[in-house]
Chain A
Amino acid sequence: MATQEQRTSIRWDYAPAPESPDHVRLRDSYGLFIDGEFSDPVDGTRVPSVNPVTEEVVAEVAFAGPEDLRRAVQAARAAQPGWAALSGLERGKYLFRVARLIQERARELAVVESMDGGKPIRESRDVDVPLAAAHFFHYAGWADKLSYGMGGRAVEPLGVAAQIVPWNFPLLMAAWKLAPALACGNTAVLKPAETTPVTALLLAEILREAELPPGVVSIVPGDGAAGAALVRQPDIDKVAFTGSTAVGKDIQGALAGRGISLTLELGGKSANIVFEDAALDQAVEGIVNGIFFNQGHVCCAGSRLLIQESVAEAVVGKLWDRMNRLRVGDPLDKNTDVGAINSREQLERITSLVDSGEEEGAVRRSVVCELPSRGFWFPPTLFTDVAPAHRIAAEEIFGPVVSVLTFRTQAEAIEKANATPYGLAAGIWTDKGSKAFEVASALQAGVVWQNTYNHFDPSAAFGGYKESGFGREGGMAGLRPYLRVAS
């Protein structure tokens, strides 16, 4: 047998390909967007929003105090009857305008999203911003067809919606919240996340440019305390929250006895299940997309990788190879796969959970790569020899860390996948269609991706089972949380 000829190794280095921030027009400082105007906080503060890559200030942003929140709710209340009295078509036309303006300013929004939050420009450009526009476009079209989306029932808006969004998809989550609320005739007070308020303020500029009537949307950045204060405002009719399960429970408790409609989109520890008959290379791409998309700062991230024993070694080997080819670094570089961790606080949380994984006896492998000396970074990390009781197998890490568990039979895979208080998402990798559908129906998860992962669309409902929350966002089902059936 001829010995294989030694091949010359070829290095496929990438030249830097940074997206230019030249066209970005950021102000030094942003006020609160209340009643159609940017205004100084009455009892709030001004806080710098930090770029997690450079630790430099992206812009200074006003944070709302209690009186500011009250003003915002008051403006929403005052604007609501007029907004609801518009014909559905007219309301929809405003939303169509917003969708178009987001598309026009897409490049700027993408760059700012990556600067403020640290996510790769490839994602903000190809996912966050286009999907945000698509959500407004989708719900714009619902505004004059609401009863069709509600099984023919006569409906009316709830009133004033208090909406709180997380830092992982700042603009996209704002769109998920605002578009259906407005289409249904509600007005809204939106609180962006503490660490990523800037694109929401650019959205406020867009709403002005669209000539949305004052007060229909107010945007009031702030920290967790501001969120807690907002849901405790007396004059609200609806709360929609996306964030951690712990905060979601606090909000649900805070609303006790108040008769306020609530939607919660909370955390997850989603199982990504690889069967032995899967196309393994394709599965590895899906695993990578499932856990390293947006640095793993994704509520539906495939953070529990369940691999059938017979192929576990092969899959882990291929995955580790693939992980070593991920490009970690400058989010504005178009070749970057994994960007910066969103904040120092989140980096500390990831680090502490990863430490617990090692302490509890799981085997850690982190990609060795050159990380910038400034900013917040965490290398893509893989844990094997993980027991279901380990913290890294049970708790949401919200970072680029995947925990591998194995199973022998389909029944065991389903049992392990469901053995969590969460129920947000799951992935299934198999070439056998009948098996995919059977397993999908047995999984307690609001979204099941078969031979793919982390796809979203404004026409497809998204939301959790169990402690991953209730209510749906997206599609026809996304109307329900913002309407009451007319009596």
Chain B
Amino acid sequence: MTSRLPVRKTYKLFIGGAFVRSESGRYDRIEGEAAAAVNIPRASRKDVRDAVAAARKALSSWAGRTPYNRGQILYRFAEALESRAGDIGAERSEVEAAIDVLVHYAGWTDKLQPVLGGINPVAAPFLSFSVPEPTGVVGVIAPDSPPLLGLVAELAPALAAGNTVVAVLSDARPLSGLDLGEVMGIADVPGGVVNLLSGRRAELAPVLAGHHALNAIVNATGESTLAAEIDKLAAESVTRVRHTTASESYADATADPLSRLEALTELKTAWHPVGA
């Protein structure tokens, strides 16, 4: 009996709904979680800019969908991840926790407005109301551990609130994140809504944080030096920043979801006269 030669996967960046190599042609060699070492694309500054442009382009259509529709797409994302759980380069338990995070936030899309917004009881003849809207294009700096769940825990609230995302994956453990791109490709997540970059965090995160078309950045690495650098760059265009440290406890991935959602929404207040 002849042994069959397995078909290996070529890992690619996920930008604008397409699987692409880094425009720089660079790669890094990564130790696989289970199998042999693999090559992954080492994204460049230009790839970051392309990803932000793709996220910006996808924003108005994603933000403009009904919350019901966004919720269904997030749920579909969870379904697709469940069905491919065995193909993701992460522990089964971590994948399952990530699926549950997606389900949790699929249910948030149409709850955010009643929880954060409402009619303001102003002392004048006006209908005044406040509604949360997406902040815009959000950068996510994923932690090294847990690499998949830590990414999804920040990605899901950003998407639920109507934002689009550019994520920089863990340097050391990017494979599960890159696998996630393939899941989104079959889960009705529109192209450009999520963009995934592998490479070197120290090179990519500052470019992302300093990009003037980025509206907010979530740094889940817990690294204080990186946090200070991100803060400084974000100040150049009043970019919103949230720093957090990804927890190893799977239950923490949905801890205080409202704070994660609030950090990526803008409250808009509208006034309309009542009467003449």
Contacts and interface: CB of A to CB of B under 8 A. Distances in A.
Contact of B237 (A134, A151, A257, A421): A421
Interface in A440-455: 440-441, 445-452, 455
Interface in B222-276: 224-225, 227-229, 231-232, 234-238, 240, 243, 256, 258-259, 262, 266-273
Contacts of A463: 267
Given A256-B232, A421-B237, A446-B266, A451 B227 contact: no
B269 A255 contact: no
A298 to B, nearest CB: 15
Contacts of A476: 118
B238 A461 contact: no
Interface in A47-69: none
B269 A446 contact: yes
B72 interface: no
B128 interface: yes
B120 A450 contact: no
Determine the interface band of chain B, counting residues with CB < 8 A from chain A: 35 or more
A363 interface: no
SS of B interface (majority):
mixed
Nearest to B126: A455
A266 interface: yes
Contacts of A470: 238, 240, 266
A252 interface: yes
Contact of B256 (A153, A440, A459, A480): A153
Contact of B116 (A256, A264, A451, A477): A477
A475 B120 contact: yes
A252 B121 contact: no
A462 B269 contact: yes
Contacts of B256: 153, 485
B243 A259 contact: yes
A460 interface: yes
B122 interface: yes
A469 interface: yes
B130 interface: yes
Contacts of A257: 224-225, 227-229, 231-232
Q: Which of A134, A455, A472 has the most CB of B within 10 A?
A: A455
A468 to B, nearest CB: 8
Given A253-B231, A253-B232, A459-B120, A447 B238 contact: no
A457 B128 contact: yes
A259 B224 CA distance: 9
A256 B228 contact: yes
A480 B243 CA distance: 17
Interface in A417-452: 421, 436-437, 440-441, 445-452
Contacts of A421: 237
Contacts of A447: 268-271
A467 B238 contact: yes
Interface residues on A, range: 35 or more
A389 B269 CA distance: 28
Contacts of B124: 455, 457
Contact of A252 (B234, B267, B268, B269): B234
B130 A461 contact: yes
A188 to B, nearest CB: 23
Nearest to A468: B238
B238 A440 contact: no
A465 interface: yes
B238 A469 contact: yes
B271 A450 contact: yes
Contacts of A468: 238
Given A448-B270, A477-B130, A460 B224 contact: no
Contacts of A460: 120, 122, 128, 130, 269, 271
B115 interface: yes
B36 interface: no
A477 B231 CA distance: 23
A152 to B, nearest CB: 9
A472 B238 CA distance: 15
13 contacts: A249-B238, A253-B236, A256-B229, A446-B268, A448-B270, A452-B273, A455-B271, A460-B120, A461-B130, A461-B267, A465-B266, A468-B238, A476-B118
Interface of A: 134, 151, 153, 245, 248-250, 252-253, 255-257, 259, 264, 266, 421, 436-437, 440-441, 445-452, 455, 457, 459-463, 465-470, 472, 475-477, 480, 485
Interface of B: 115-116, 118, 120-124, 126, 128, 130, 133, 215, 224-225, 227-229, 231-232, 234-238, 240, 243, 256, 258-259, 262, 266-273
Q: Which 10 residue pairs are nearest across A and B when measured between Cβ atoms?
A: A257-B228, A256-B231, A252-B235, A253-B235, A457-B122, A460-B120, A256-B232, A467-B238, A450-B272, A448-B270
